[in-house]
């Protein structure tokens, strides 16, 4: 009888841990589900790659290939998060980030900069322009969802 009780106790603890873990994973998944991400990027291959990764996480992905259409799409759709390439033709990412920060209705939207610039001071420049975070190119598709989740958690708390 004692053996059975021990066994039952053991099962309930494992069950509880499993439930907690499932809830945790569920919470992580929900953090991304239906999140609308606008990706402003002039490189079509990167756009396709990021779209695939984020759609698999349950996000919906909007795209813009340059700064002016990025501003337009952002104003029309009010995305939940903006992924912003820094090296863009005409209006660069720094300038765009500043414009988003000056636009009512868009200034709260978290911006995650994506850039191949790894010179000293580049990270600070993106943050000074109003970005909430910084991802280095080439994009690591295994880390991207967590990098986005971390940004969403940070701005939501
Ligand atoms: Mn680019």
Ligand 1 centroid–CA 20 distance in Å is 41
Q: Are residues 22 and 38 in the same domain?
A: no
Model confidence band, residue 80 (pLDDT cutoffs 50, 70, 90): very high
| 122-145 confidence digits (pLDDT tens) | 889 999 999 999 999 999 999 999
Ligand 1 centroid–CA 41 distance in Å is 6
The residues, any chain, with a CB within 8 Å of residue 84's CB and separated by 6 or more, are 40, 70, 93, 96, 97, 111, 112, 113, 114, 131
We report the CATH number of the domain holding residue 88 as: 3.40.50.2300
Position with higher pLDDT, 93 vs 115: 93
Q: Are residues 26 and 38 in the same domain?
A: no
Ligand 1 centroid–CA 65 distance in Å is 9
Q: Are residues 3 and 44 in the same domain?
A: no
Ligand 1 centroid–CA 86 distance in Å is 6
Backbone torsions φ then ψ of 134, nearest 5 degrees: -150, 125
- Nearest of 116, 123, 121, 84 to residue 100 by alpha carbon: 84
How far apart, in whole angstroms, are the C-alpha atoms of residue 48 and residue 16? 40
How far apart, in whole angstroms, are the C-alpha atoms of residue 39 and residue 112? 10
Backbone torsions φ then ψ of 97, nearest 5 degrees: -60, -45
Ligand 1 centroid–CA 18 distance in Å is 43
Q: Are residues 2 and 16 in the same domain?
A: yes
Q: Are residues 40 and 24 in the same domain?
A: no
Q: Are residues 16 and 92 in the same domain?
A: no
| Beta-carbon neighbours within 5 Å of ion ligand 1 | 42, 85, 87
Ligand 1 centroid–CA 88 distance in Å is 5
Q: Are residues 88 and 108 in the same domain?
A: yes
Backbone φ/ψ region at 84: left (φ over 0), alpha (ψ -120 to 50), beta: beta
Backbone torsions φ then ψ of 141, nearest 5 degrees: -65, -25
| Whether the predicted pLDDT of 84 surpasses 50 | yes
Ligand 1 centroid–CA 109 distance in Å is 21
**Total domain count for the chain?**
2
Q: What is the pTM of this model?
A: 0.82
Q: Are residues 67 and 133 in the same domain?
A: yes
Model confidence band, residue 154 (pLDDT cutoffs 50, 70, 90): confident
How far apart, in whole angstroms, are the C-alpha atoms of residue 106 and residue 38? 12
Q: Are residues 92 and 109 in the same domain?
A: yes
Could you give the 3-state DSSP secondary structure of residue 42? Answer: coil
Q: In this predicted structure, what is the pLDDT of residue 32?
A: 86
Ligand 1 centroid–CA 85 distance in Å is 6
Q: Are residues 63 and 20 in the same domain?
A: no
Q: Are residues 144 and 77 in the same domain?
A: yes
Range of the domain at 10: 1-32
Q: In this predicted structure, what is the pLDDT of residue 155?
A: 81
| Whether the predicted pLDDT of 121 surpasses 90 | no
Ligand 1 centroid–CA 40 distance in Å is 9
| Whether the predicted pLDDT of 5 surpasses 50 | no
Q: Are residues 140 and 113 in the same domain?
A: yes
| 38-67 confidence digits (pLDDT tens) | 999 999 999 999 999 999 999 999 999 999
CA 99 to chain centre: 20
């Amino acid at each position: 009888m004692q053996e059975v009780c021990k066994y039952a106790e053991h099962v309930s603890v494992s069950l509880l841990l499993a439930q907690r873990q499932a809830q945790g994973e569920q919470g992580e998944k929900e953090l991304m589900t239906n999140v609308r991400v606008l990706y402003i990027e002039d490189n079509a291959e990167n756009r396709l790659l990021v779209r695939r990764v984020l759609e698999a996480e349950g996000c919906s992905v909007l795209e813009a290939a340059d700064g002016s259409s990025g501003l337009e799409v952002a104003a029309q759709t009010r995305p939940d998060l903006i992924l912003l390439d820094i090296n863009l033709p005409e209006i660069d990412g720094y300038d765009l980030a500043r414009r988003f920060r000056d636009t009512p209705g868009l200034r709260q939207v978290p911006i995650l900069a994506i850039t191949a610039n790894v010179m000293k001071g580049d990270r600070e420049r993106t943050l000074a322009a109003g970005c909430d975070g910084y991802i280095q190119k080439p994009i690591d598709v295994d880390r991207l969802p967590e990098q986005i989740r971390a940004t969403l958690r940070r701005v939501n708390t």
